[in-house]
Amino acid sequence: MTGITHAYDTFQPTHYDIFIDIDRGTKQISGKSVIDGDAQQKDIFIQQKNMEISSVQADGKDVPFEVDNKKEAINITLPKTGTTTLAVTYKAPLTDSMMGIYPSYYEVDGVKKEIIGTQFETTFARQAFPSVDEPEAKAKFDLAIKFDEKPGETILANMPEVKNENGVHYFDTTVRMSTYLIAFAFGDLQSKITTTKSGVKVGVFATKAHKANELDFALDIAKRAIEFYEDFYQTPYPLPHSWQLALPDFSAGAMENWGLVTYREAYLTLDPDNTSLDTKQLVATVITHELAHQWFGDLVTMKWWDDLWLNESFANMMEYVSVDAIEPDWHVWEMFQTSDVPAALQRDATDGVQSVHVDVEDPAEIDALFDSAIVYAKGARMLVMMRALVGDDALRKGLKNYFAAHQYHNAQGNDLWSAVGEAAGMDIGGIMNTWLQQPGYPVVSASVVDGKLTLSQQQFFIGDGVDKGRQWKIPLNSNYEVAPTIMSDKTIELGDYAKLREEAGKPFRINVGNNSHFIVKYDDELLKDILDHHDELDAISQLQILQDLRLLAEGKQISYASIVPLLPKFADSHSNVVNAALYRVANDLKKFVTPDSDEEKQLQVLFDKLSAKEVARLGWAPKNGESNDDQLTRPYVLNAALYAKNTDAIASAHKLFEENSSNLAALSADIRPYVLRNEVKNFGSEELFDNLLSEYRKSSDASYKQDLNIALTATPDAKLISKLIGKFEDAETIKPQDLRSWYRGVLANDAGQQAAWDWIRNDWQWLDDTVGGDMEFTTYITVTAMVFHTPARLAEFKAFFEPKLNTPGMTREIQMDIKVVETRVKLIEAEKDAVNAAVAEIVK
């Protein structure tokens, strides 16, 4: 990254004394940042954003300075280089941007309240205190906070409070850490606290809008996760406490601030008596993801944001490793296969996608790095692949050495590969860098050519792609011993197929376990052999067959129509993961039909045929002692039956609504969204709509609120859609953090698509002003592209977003999403007649 000067190159801090005075009434911050450090030159700069700087001193004397708002910097001229103490006095606004220091709003018994929290990743600590706000600039921090305190309020920070003098709360000195991990919060909070086996205090904090028992689940998971990580990493948790705090307004899902992890309420608090298993699994993995970071990201931090994957990919893998260890009956790796894996494979197949490792400098571009499908999901898949190669013993040994070598400092990707490679006795870096530095992934074609079993690799694209001859070192994990562990060449020949097949006694397969980041295209002979024995395959292997065929169809390497006849083969499976893959394919068929057409009616018959047997077996009411698979499968099949307009399903859902109309929140969370949506779609009225919207406003149960969102956005009534969109900018009803899911819900509703699309185009500036500084902002573009599939919508999408191509942080997303919609439109045009004919053939 030549030509760019980092603040750390000019001034290297070692210690901060920070005083911040926060006035919620006037929405003003004032403070003083005293920084001990080493000036590398006389002309230095440190970072600030939106601040009014009143004075800068060096070693007690005023020095010249200039505020450069474009560079988010304070340029300072020092009398000398070397050891220096800077003191910067400043004022700043307290904004509602959910970045920096900001208020969160909530209600208790109809009374409006607020708490103050922080969000400093990526570059927002500079909104709170002048600093060298770069991950490499690790230092120790002494934090002192004053605020307009009310009786009974609690204040939390990374470290324990050591004293309170004259209304100023002083916290213990931190360990060496990066600015983006500093955090504090205060307000009227409740808590539950426990202690780990090694003596770490673990606490869960939330507003009093929640019932006390909504903190229990998170407390249990957090305590056991820290105990697991201390053992797995063979490295003690480095701080005296680990606080988990639910913030009512929070832009991301959660944030790994060291010792004070912050969360959306939906990802921390839950009703232990009525929350679906998949929601519990999701909350558990969010908590364990953030706690994995306390070592991987906090104790050892990436040197610069180009190695963001080093934090996020690893935490994404470890969230599953830890939950699998502490709740083995959940089989949580199945969730990885149904969420992270398809997300990574879909996104990574579009030409122009970022690689996991990306060079980056501009703060807006840094935020754009947080591509969940690549830096999180694909990166985790790379690490799962690595773990399968080296085994847990070598991985744990390598990690222990990695933490010992780099604790309280910074690292780069190659440092991790070196540590694990040395422990495993393998050139891990040589393998992993082919995945890390290159975008995309290969399709491995397995064919019988002139009697020889032959494998070849080529980059896989969904849509147009420029083949640059990329090659990967592919862990094949075949069920035939003749296949090598790693395929490095473009093409390899494994031997006489007939002989190999006879010796093995089973169909040839590669990527067994679906752990490596590639898909497989079997020729007709090999695929028929697998499908003829599909009932002998385990659930993950059946998922993989459907997954790979779906992607090959998306990439136009096979016809979508050829998959349709296979769906009934898998429809009677009792496995959640098989049903997840089956209905992913089935739901993808919806793009080939227009609403209320004869073709859609045929597709509805197919959905009825696929789901009928399982709906009859499982029913609407969850049963005591039923398997996890049954709990997780029921939503897929009920959803299919309702799409099919099955009269029994519609009547059953309506009956459940009427029986529970006085307390809808008490409906079983497993089926609640389907009951509520069915009522709005098929028995709706303005009175029902208003009642459900009122329920949404009053409830503090995030799971119930999401179900109400799903129901309300499904209304077919144009008047009610207009009413709902009228609430999009009413933060009292729909918080900005939740707006995207409301927008997407209405956009995906055929009756609401035009109104939602008109809203975002007309009010884009409002949206930018409200959530534009948020790393999630570009996902409004992504979710729009996920829905659109007609030539007319493509033209409108391009007309609106192409003029925004040069906006920092948005360029790649706009380019990618135009390709995504273009590709879908072309696919539908090419395939719709064949797909609808194939559906008609099955249902006749």
| The two three-digit tokens of residue 433, written as one number | 């860098």
- 3-state SS of 498-546? HHHHHHHCCCCCCCCCCCCCCEEEECHHHHHHHHHCHHHCCHHHHHHHH
Nearest 5°: the CA angle 124, 126, 129 is 125
Q: Express the helix, strand and coil content of the chain in percent, nearest 5 each.
A: 45, 20, 35
For residue 208, CA distances in Å to 105, 218, 267 come to 12, 16, 17
290 is catalytic: yes
CA-to-CA distance for 51 and 30, rounded, in angstroms? 9
Any idea what DSSP says for residue 479? S
CA-to-CA distance for 656 and 664, rounded, in angstroms? 10
Residue 125: CB atoms within 10 Å = 26
The 3-state DSSP class for residue 605 equals: helix
Residue 225: CB atoms within 10 Å = 27
Evaluate whether 177 touches 134 at the Cβ level (below 8 Å). no
Amino acid letter for position 329: D
Which residue(s) pair with 254 in the sheet?
A: 263
Question: Distance between the two ends of the chain, CA-based, in angstroms?
Answer: 62
Evaluate whether 357 touches 307 at the Cβ level (below 8 Å). yes
309, 313, 314, 320 alpha-carbon torsion, rounded to 10°: 170
Q: Phi then psi for 349, rounded to 5 degrees?
A: -95, -5
Q: What is the DSSP string of 645-659?
A: T-HHHHHHHHHHHHH
CA-to-CA distance for 430 and 726, rounded, in angstroms? 55
339 CB-near residues (< 8 Å, 6+ apart): 377
* 122 cis-preceded (ω within 30 degrees of 0): yes
CA-to-CA distance for 444 and 436, rounded, in angstroms? 19
Residue 623: CB atoms within 10 Å = 11
CA-to-CA distance for 490 and 708, rounded, in angstroms? 51
Residue matched to tokens 């010992």:
404
Evaluate whether 713 touches 746 at the Cβ level (below 8 Å). yes
Amino acid letter for position 177: M
Indicate the length of the chain as a whole number: 844
| The two three-digit tokens of residue 664, written as one number | 């809808």
Which residue(s) pair with 105 in the sheet?
A: 114
CA-to-CA distance for 279 and 288, rounded, in angstroms? 14
CA-to-CA distance for 446 and 523, rounded, in angstroms? 6
CA-to-CA distance for 278 and 629, rounded, in angstroms? 11
Q: Which of 72, 290, 554, 813 is catalytic?
A: 290
Residue matched to tokens 């207009």:
722
| 151 Rama class: left (phi>0) / alpha (psi -120 to 50) / beta | beta
Residue 171: its H or E element: strand 168-171
Using only C-alpha atoms, what is the Rg of the chain? 28
CA-to-CA distance for 602 and 598, rounded, in angstroms? 6
Q: For residues 404-426, b (16+ Cβ closer than 10 Å) or e, as one string?
A: eebeeebbbbebbbbbbbebbeb
Evaluate whether 722 touches 712 at the Cβ level (below 8 Å). no
The 3-state DSSP class for residue 190 equals: strand
- Which residues are tagged catalytic? 290
